[in-house]
Amino acid sequence: MPSYRVWALPGLGEVLPGDNIAKLIAATSPGLADGDVLLVTSKIVSKAEGRIVEATDREAAIDAETVRVVARRGPLRIVENRQGLVMAAAGVDASNTPVGTVLLLPADPDASARAIREGLRDELGVDVGVIVTDTFGRPWRTGLTDVAIGAAGVRVLDDLRGGTDAYGNPLGSTVVATADELAAAGDLVKGKANGLPVAVVRGLAHVVAEDAEGARSMVRGAADDMFRLGTSEAVREAVTQRRTVREFTDEPVDGGAVRRAVAAAVTAPAPHHTTPWRFVLLESPTSRVRLLDAMREAWIADLRRDGKSEESIAKRVRRGDVLRNAPYLAVPCLVMDGSHTYGDERRDAAEREMFVVAAGAGVQNFLVALAGERLGSAWVSSTMFCREVVRDVLSLPASWDPMGAVAIGHAAAAPKARPPREGESFIEVR
């Protein structure tokens, strides 16, 4: 039967800046053999590499190691650190280090693992795998466990995709995190307070390989990360990162994603507990072409009445190509159901303005939600200039006022960076 053995190495002693981890391990007479895997706690690697820094304020050290805040609750921060790891406090540790100092993670854990592996080969003539471990919490699970943050000579992932299970069912998504499983096994014998920072696994020589990738390959890329941000951070990023997208790929748009965006849109505030939003979704090419052709004809007629030249008309009409080139269109409409009539021109005008503001809030919710669905969009005001045409082509009630159109699709290219805008520039305090 398949089996393995795991044990902690005693006698390592205190690790100081400048120490050679491989030499310290070799000095314990560990009895290592080819195919063994060493699990080395990152804390001793950090100490040996001089990653101890003076810091009267741990928060400042966390700031310095943080690339991106993922989530925040009170003083607790989950962040992406310089090593690409998403973890609490960027891995900055104030335990087991002199007062007034903190311990940072190794600058390059994979390089640290390679150095230990090569050092053991030089010292003991053995071919072993090395994993540098650290303690992580995990989403949806209480408790901590050790995971691999650096690796050398170990197949960190076991990709089973393309194979079959014991019943012949195809495996389409199974990739086993072997390095993390080994790290957790080692932690069972090292413990958190036993002074045993190194463990050995024997019996799994098949995971040791000269050309194996490092643990950095286990970090999920942003494009595949469905849980990249915490709630408030996700809302803030969706708002700030939303861009007007004018060029789209041919990739189809998921109608379900658009409907989820509509569900977000209709949570906007509205006067008198009304629901002044309606969204007409143009999902077929035929409906889109019919609408856009009719709008173009109306627009050209208006421009000719204004005395515009044919060259000027052609230039202006080309601006509508963003709608024509999009694989999906939505036409948000304002309805005044539930509005009050005062019989006073000033108050009736203000009443309509309230509803228009509510419609705008709904459209903004819609655009932000589309960004959250990883869909690009562009709000174009054109339907507001030919409402009768739009109502006629789309068979809408006379009480529905089209409030522009939204082009929706997958962005053909990454949007350009938006010039920075400081909120303070738009604030007046009284």
| CATH number for the domain that contains residue 284 | 3.40.109.10
Query: Which pTM does this prediction carry?
Result: 0.68
Token pair listed for 194:
């036993």
What is the pLDDT, as a whole number, of residue 316? 79
Range of the domain at 100: 5-224
- Model confidence at 333: pLDDT above 80: yes
Buried b (16+ CB within 10 A) or exposed e, 308-347: eeeeebeeeeeebebbbebbbbbbbbbbbeeeeeeeeeee
- Specify whether 213 is located in the same domain as 280: no
Is residue 344 one of the residues assigned to a domain?
yes
Please compute the mean of the pLDDT values over residues 105-126 and round it to a whole number. 97
Of 1-15, 32-46, 315-329, the least confident: 315-329
Is residue 230 one of the residues assigned to a domain?
no
What's the sign of the alpha-carbon dihedral 224, 228, 232, 236? Answer: negative
Please compute the mean of the pLDDT values over residues 256-262 and round it to a whole number. 95
Is residue 342 one of the residues assigned to a domain?
yes
Element (H, E) at 69: strand 66-73
Is residue 61 one of the residues assigned to a domain?
yes
To the nearest whole number, what is the mean pLDDT of the chain? 91
- Specify whether 308 is located in the same domain as 407: yes
- Specify whether 192 is located in the same domain as 263: no
Measure the CA dihedral 81/82/85/88, to 10°.
Answer: -20
- Specify whether 117 is located in the same domain as 213: yes
- What SS3 state is found at 367? helix
What count of other Cβ atoms lies within 10 Å of the Cβ of residue 147?
23
Buried b (16+ CB within 10 A) or exposed e, 203-232: ebbebbeeebbbbbebeeeeeeeeebbbee
Tell me the DSSP string of 231-248. Answer: HHHHHHHHHHH--B---B
CA-closest candidate to residue 268, choices 371, 138, 177, 359: 359
CA-closest candidate to residue 7, choices 45, 42, 33: 33
Percent of the chain topping pLDDT 90: 65
- Model confidence at 423: pLDDT above 90: no
- What SS3 state is found at 132? strand
- Specify whether 202 is located in the same domain as 260: no
- Specify whether 174 is located in the same domain as 299: no
Domain boundary residue, one of 167, 194, 224: 224
Is residue 234 one of the residues assigned to a domain?
no
Buried b (16+ CB within 10 A) or exposed e, 47-64: bbbebbeebeeeeebbee
Is residue 49 one of the residues assigned to a domain?
yes
> What CATH number has the domain bearing residue 25?
3.30.1330.100
- Model confidence at 133: pLDDT above 70: yes
- Specify whether 177 is located in the same domain as 291: no
Higher pLDDT, 140 or 33: 33
pLDDT tier at 192, thresholds 50, 70, 90: low
What is the pLDDT, as a whole number, of residue 322? 83
Whether residue 90 contacts residue 81, with contact meaning beta carbons closer than 8 Å, is answered with yes
What are 332's strand-pairing partners?
279
- Specify whether 218 is located in the same domain as 248: no
Looking from the CA of 38 toward its CB, the CA atoms found within 13 Å total: 34
What is the pLDDT, as a whole number, of residue 193? 63
Is residue 290 one of the residues assigned to a domain?
yes
- The total of structural domains in the chain comes to 2
- Specify whether 208 is located in the same domain as 330: no
What is the pLDDT, as a whole number, of residue 18? 96
Domain boundary residue, one of 198, 224, 250: 224
- Specify whether 290 is located in the same domain as 219: no
Q: Cα 235–142–6 angle (5° rounding)?
A: 130
- Specify whether 162 is located in the same domain as 265: no
The one-letter amino acid code at 423 reads G
Residue 213 CA to residue 61 CA, distance in Å, equals 30
- Specify whether 138 is located in the same domain as 48: yes
Please compute the mean of the pLDDT values over residues 337-365 and round it to a whole number. 93
What count of other Cβ atoms lies within 10 Å of the Cβ of residue 274?
15
Is residue 232 one of the residues assigned to a domain?
no
Residue 187 CA to residue 183 CA, distance in Å, equals 6
Of 130-139, 279-288, 304-313, 321-330, the least confident: 304-313
